[in-house]
Amino acid sequence: MVLNKRIKAVRHAVLGAAIIAATANVACAADSLNFVSWGGTTQDAQKQAWADPFSKASGITVVMDGPTDYGKLKAMVDSGNVQWDVVDVEADFALRAAAEGLLEPLDFKTIDRSKIDPRFVSDNGVGSFYFSFVLGYNTSKLGGAKPQDWNALFDTKTYPGKRALYKWPSPGVLEMALLADGVPADKLYPLDLDRAFKKLDTIKQDIVWWGGGAQSQQLLASGEVSMGSFWNGRLYALSQDGAPVGQSWKQNLVMADFLVVPKGSKHKDAAMKFLAASSAAKGQADFSNLTAYAPVNTDSIPRLDSALAPSLPTAYPKDQITLDFAYWAKNGEAIATRWNEWLVK
């Protein structure tokens, strides 16, 4: 359903002038802005919930573009020829890009910061949505067993079968391994990398890596894996389709996307208005009701579809562990180096 996610292998590539030229054809007129996201059903929902209503209300055309590419964003800013106005990025990248001077400061006279969950707003970014990594399992493969926490993922004797894990070096997998190894939630950071990789070594031969949401769904629904770590919205979509899946919200790991404005945006004022609308209570609730991902605006909760609400992270606040975006912004590149070395061992 949602989050046709990220090809991160090119995440930090600095693309040259040829990329800037290639994107020049999507430059926006004065009464329009360019919105960039990850494509797929995520961006379809953003168009339906945010872009179309905003254009109708403001007269500002929102030109959809994508997918998000961090190297391209940096190349545009460095060249001074910025063709993008609003970009959906991961939370840790939003913080790192701000530190590198790649983003405009947000106008909080236009955007109502007071209504945004403090976890999902910074001086240079406002939450797009948030979601959880949750333990998901194929009920037909486990003979009626209902695993409850991340420990089950590493217990291949009690719960046999392959495990599906997110393959990219980003918040989630290392924290999950440490929690399963007994690290208290409030003692996760700084991450003990030696301990995390040692724990992952115990199931490395049983891991099937997924790189995008659709692939994760196929692995679980087909029974190729018996359980794994999944985006909550993808499990909701499978359940709606009648697939034999179950999930546990215990220790669900919260991650978020942010909306940012690249430094040098040609339509900065329009971009701020768009961010105000997309982060408002109605826009956030409308997006959540389309996707089963959670709103960042605290006033959106009463607007959520009552039938959908139990499938959202907002229903499980006591079971949540919010990943440390700032830690990953600072240490992500070094962790990625070690992660990639471990993958090929």
CA distances from 186 to 68, 99, 132, 133, 329 (A): 32, 26, 17, 18, 19
- What is the secondary structure of 196-245 as a DSSP string? HHHHHHTTGGGEEEE-SHHHHHHHHHHTSSSEEEEEHHHHHHHHHTT-SE
Convert the pLDDT of each residue in 216-239 to its tens digit.
999 999 999 999 999 998 898 899
pLDDT for residue 345: 86
Percent of the chain whose predicted confidence (pLDDT) is above 70: 91
Cα-based angle 53, 57, 63 (whole degrees, multiple of 5): 60
Written as six digits, the tokens of 26 are 């999507």
**Would you call 5 exposed, middle or buried from its count of C-beta atoms within 10 A (0-12, 13-18, 19+)?**
buried
**Would you call 224 exposed, middle or buried from its count of C-beta atoms within 10 A (0-12, 13-18, 19+)?**
middle
The Cα 216–Cα 303 span in angstroms is 29
Output Rg (C-alpha) for the chain, integer angstroms: 20
Written as six digits, the tokens of 73 are 């964003």
Convert the pLDDT of each residue in 286-306 to its tens digit.
999 998 899 999 999 999 999
pTM across the whole model? 0.83
Written as six digits, the tokens of 27 are 């430059």
The Cα 196–Cα 175 span in angstroms is 8
Domains of the chain: 8-130+256-314 (3.40.190.10), 131-255+324-343 (3.40.190.10)
| Band of pLDDT at residue 12, cut at 50, 70 and 90 | very low
At 141, give phi and psi (nearest 5°): -90, -15
Partners of residue 137 on adjacent β-strands: 227, 246
Strands 32-36 and 61-65: parallel
Written as six digits, the tokens of 241 are 């389709």
CA distances from 142 to 147, 209, 224, 288 (A): 9, 20, 12, 31
The Cα 168–Cα 9 span in angstroms is 8
pLDDT for residue 176: 97
Convert the pLDDT of each residue in 235-273 to its tens digit.
988 998 999 999 999 999 999 999 999 999 999 999 999
Contact 225, 219 (CB under 8 A): yes
